[in-house]
Amino acid sequence: MKAVSLTPERMTADERHAAFWLAGVFSLRMLGLFMILPVFALYAEHLRGNTPALAGLAIGIYGFSQALFQIPFGFLSDRHGRKRIIYIGLLVFALGSVVAALADSIWGVILGRALQGGGAVSAAVMALAADLTREEHRTKVMAVIGVTIGLSFAVSMILGPALNGWIGVPGIFWLTALFAVLSMGVVRLLVPEPPAARIHHDAEPVAAQFGRVLFDGQLLRLNFGIFILHLLLTATFVAIPLALRDAGLASAQHWEVYLPVLLLSMAIMAPFVILAEKYRRLKTVFLGAVLALALAEFGLLNLHATVLEMAALLLVFFSAFNLLEATLPSLIAKMAPADAKGTAMGIYSSSQFLGAFAGGALGGWLRGLLGLKGVFAFTTLAALAWLVVAWTMANPRYLSSYTLKVGDLDDAQAQLLAQQLNKVRGVAEAVVVATEGVAYLKVDRNILDEPALQHLVAAS
């Protein structure tokens, strides 16, 4: 077999274009979902039939339908083609945005938001990205998409209040529908056609692996973590816009709080990410960030009478939130079985969206029952519960995912090669999937014997 280079060639132009444009599709969709988060609680007060509980449900309902449909959409894309399923999902998303824009009642917005979430194309887009990239570059492509999603969230928190003062929440929904149509055009005209749809264990869920991933104790802790993180985010923003208004800040000026808070929080986060990964203090940094979330929520419980108090506490909240949002996927990648990263990430994403649903629904219900203090008391207790669960998390192994193309093998050859790969210094885990012709490894790059790995793969 031809030798496989462990220092691969640069990404091709098609691979770079696929990464860039698919990240753009994710960005436009996430902007549409999140731009209403900092403004909807105030807008809902003017809708027919509104109650605090229904307003919270409208904010979070997209998470329920997203969690329900994203993995099935991924499976459907395996059978019926990536782009076809992505078009259908984006069309449903656009339809939901139009329904919400035209609605004059809270139930109409709830229906529109549920349809937005039903256009759950995340798994299909990830699978398309995997189809269009070589194994050795796939981690970089997924990282580009992940960074873009994070930036989209930050931008949406600033754009939402600014656009609300200009075009209102219905205008934001119309803009979101336009984003979905533009995304369809991007997929049609700018994303290359995949040579064929294949199953990629590192990028998409595989039904046969659900059992071992769902019942892995360490992964369960991380799935609980992302559930609570997005529960906290959504529940907090059921209350924060109202608290800022009650403190005397007009809704059109809320961006003046969010902009400096988000920029400073990103600057604060960066050194902690370096400390966690480079200096291998991941669990310590992780626990510190969860504790910071709990303290921020406790602070909001007691100090939400002035804009300055809330701005300071939101800075703590978003510094911790951004840090955890960056480190949780890294922990999933470290702790998932080598050949089940895609399945682990699919379940993780579903947990994230269910958290958003629970945060909106419970946060709205508690606001109607107990007021803003009831919401912040709930989020404080939720963060403390996460701290207890996270404390029992095992120290992560500082391993990197490593994928090698090994060519056509039968099952016996694949099993033998996996045994040999597992003996190479620095390889902690190796699984060879014969049907893909790919070896999935977990390695410690600091001690990896790359020449031995190169020799073994070349000789197989």
Cβ atoms of residues 236 and 378 within 8 Å:
no
Whole-number Å distance between alpha carbons of 319 and 41: 23
- Average pLDDT score over the chain: 89
Q: What is the pLDDT of residue 442?
A: 86
3-state secondary structure of 265: helix
Q: Report, as an integer, the average pLDDT of 68-85.
A: 88
What angle in degrees, to the nearest 10, is found between the helix axes of 52-80 and 217-246?
Answer: 140
Closest CA to 17 of 144, 123, 121, 109: 144
Q: Report, as an integer, the average pLDDT of 295-317.
A: 95
pLDDT at 62 over 50: yes
Q: What is the pLDDT of residue 316?
A: 97
Extract the runs of DSSP E, i.e. beta strands, from 314-437.
400-405, 427-433
Whole-number Å distance between alpha carbons of 288 and 290: 6
CA distances from 238 to 50, 251, 256, 339, 374 (A): 14, 14, 19, 39, 11
Q: In Å, how far from its chain's centre is CA 354? A: 12
Phi and psi torsions of 145, nearest 5°: -65, -40
pLDDT at 305 over 70: yes
Phi and psi torsions of 448, nearest 5°: -65, 130
The structure tokens listed for 225 are 């973590």
Closest CA to 185 of 104, 320, 87: 87
Q: What is the pLDDT of residue 201?
A: 66
The structure tokens listed for 444 are 């410690």
The sign one gets for the Cα dihedral 365, 366, 370, 372 is negative
Q: What is the pLDDT of residue 7?
A: 47
Q: Report, as an integer, the average pLDDT of 48-63.
A: 96
Q: Tally Cβ neighbours within 10 Å of residue 224.
A: 16
pLDDT at 394 over 70: yes
Task: State pLDDT tens for residues 256-285.
Answer: 999 999 999 999 998 998 888 888 889 999
Task: State pLDDT tens for residues 192-238.
Answer: 888 766 666 666 777 778 888 888 999 999 999 999 999 999 999 99
The structure tokens listed for 351 are 């947990």
Domains and CATH numbers, the chain: 11-204 (1.20.1250.20), 212-398 (1.20.1250.20), 400-459 (3.30.70.100)
Whole-number Å distance between alpha carbons of 318 and 169: 24
Pairing of strands 400-405, 438-443: antiparallel
